[in-house]
Structure 1
């Protein structure tokens, strides 16, 4: 049942085998045996893709609930005496992770030597369930989803530009003036939206410019080179602000801090390892104020 659920979630025998630490042949044979026992086709196999039948979808839904109950029952017993152990697959944003997570993860693993961490640094929004992650660190507003979210920290969002850019283009005195400025935006959309606090209210301002990227360090470096204005978390621009390679603009309109969350699928709530690492992150960031 667990092999079948993993295969459907991963949409691949190979990916499911990797997640479970089994061979592809073993996974395929076990699902074939399950189908034979049930007397029903659950998966339609082809060279290009794996398709789940209607009966397979119904079985997957029930099986997932059963496995969650099994996990919860086991955790109820083992959490009384057991220490976290096993594999933790974690996704986190590149810059935040390199600056803040390295020492934290190392300390967690020292405390729990039977834990193995598989960490992927990526600024894209990963599909936790589809790609088999146990949890992820995310920054900023969260999209509506079925994921469980826990706030672990808050960071200031700072709008800044290089002194050279401001000499050439002038310093904006209000958020509305950004329409006439080159703005370096995060994400794929040609126009971005930046948030400011104007007269006690949160206002969104449309911005655009010569560069967009899904990595804050790239945008910071472009801003230091004089290509435009950026709006980034302070952990990305703090060093550049300290030595005046960047200077803050529109500081009196600075919005509220953005939140850092740890998120995980609902079926991982009962995992002792997920709970322990989530608690550890909250404890560390609460202590450091990061």
Structure 2
């Protein structure tokens, strides 16, 4: 049996991650010619093009996109195997790429990452905060935190806790517009739309006993970040559905009021995701175990299950 061209697969994964032959060569410590020859060699063996090449841009073909995850797994497991041999006799070290939602990352990751880096001075963190969907494999992310109901995928997922969501608005807004008694009443309210969901304008609810409801909403604000809604909410301009960790201080201070609390807004949870594959560098394993422990213990409202 002829062995796969592991070097070419690993170089392909690096080109996908860095989106450039030159950047991949720099990252791997080889020449650009070596990278180019490896990609040509792999394309010849597979009898398909992996990239569309122009003088200005490098993009994956459909075949390349379909094979990128396999290549990333080969590279990641090769690196993990090499590092495992060395890290048995030394402390974990190196770079970990971590992605998380913007507001959650600022509020909950900052403090615990400082503690982690004090414990592991040899580990560096590349923290990427965004509410947008992150292509973990394509962007070379080691660990991603997501607050969502996850679709089926080949990613490895660990659920850290349920995330409660609340329908909230300023007391003054409800005094003027009325307090909804049933989710269907929201169709007549100014509801802010959070766009980073599969169905932004459709809110689904469930309550004890199994009764379900769905309502189409609309309003004056559309945004991909919940934190950006808060000033308009406090000003009494409408209603939003937001996670507890984002609005707990406003609720406690009376700036916002929660309604329809007997209804659950869904089954979103806090998940820790990693690329497919069994082997991971010790530095990644160390951060995974640390975040699992700290976020389960310290995230407060994140742990409150939103299921009645």
Considering the TM-score relative to the shorter chain, is it more than 0.5?
yes
Q: What is the distance in 2 between the residues matched to 1:238 and 1:179? A: 25
Quote the offset at 1:264 in angstroms: 1.6
CA offsets, 1:84-117, max 9 Å, x none? 2111111111111111111111111111111011
What aligned pairs does 1:67-216 form with structure 2 within 5 A after superposition? Answer: 67-74=75-82, 77-78=85-86, 80-187=88-195, 191-201=200-210, 202-216=212-226
* Conserved? CA contact 2:163–2:243, under 8 Å: yes
Of residues 7, 30, 33, the one that matches 1:29 is: 33
Residue 224 of structure 1 corresponds to which residue in structure 2? 234
- Residue range with higher mean Cα deviation, 162-171 or 259-268: 259-268
Tell me how many residue pairs correspond in the alignment. Answer: 286
Gaps of 5+ in 1: none
> Structure 1's 204 and 73: CA in aligned 2 closer, same or farther, altered over 3 A?
same
* Conserved? CA contact 1:268–1:274, under 8 Å: no
Quote the offset at 1:243 in angstroms: 1.3
Q: Secondary structure of 1:183's match? A: coil
Quote the offset at 1:281 in angstroms: 0.7
> Structure 1's 48 and 267: CA in aligned 2 closer, same or farther, altered over 3 A?
farther
Gaps of 5+ in 2: 1-6, 301-308
- Residue range with higher mean Cα deviation, 149-158 or 86-95: 149-158
* Conserved? CA contact 1:183–1:208, under 8 Å: yes
* Conserved? CA contact 2:191–2:240, under 8 Å: yes
Quote the offset at 1:32 in angstroms: 3.2
> Structure 1's 181 and 147: CA in aligned 2 closer, same or farther, altered over 3 A?
same
Q: What is the distance in 2 between the residues matched to 1:216 and 1:146? A: 28
Residue 303 of structure 2 corresponds to which residue in structure 1? none
Residue 261 of structure 1 corresponds to which residue in structure 2? 271
- Residue range with higher mean Cα deviation, 216-225 or 45-54: 45-54
* Conserved? CA contact 2:195–2:223, under 8 Å: yes
Quote the offset at 1:64 in angstroms: 5.1
Q: What is the distance in 2 between the residues matched to 1:9 and 1:169? A: 50
Q: RMSD of the TM alignment (CA)?
A: 3.2
> Structure 1's 99 and 45: CA in aligned 2 closer, same or farther, altered over 3 A?
same
Q: Secondary structure of 2:168's match? A: strand
- TM-score, length basis structure 2: 0.80
Of residues 288, 298, 303, the one that matches 1:288 is: 298
Of residues 16, 24, 45, the one that matches 1:16 is: 24
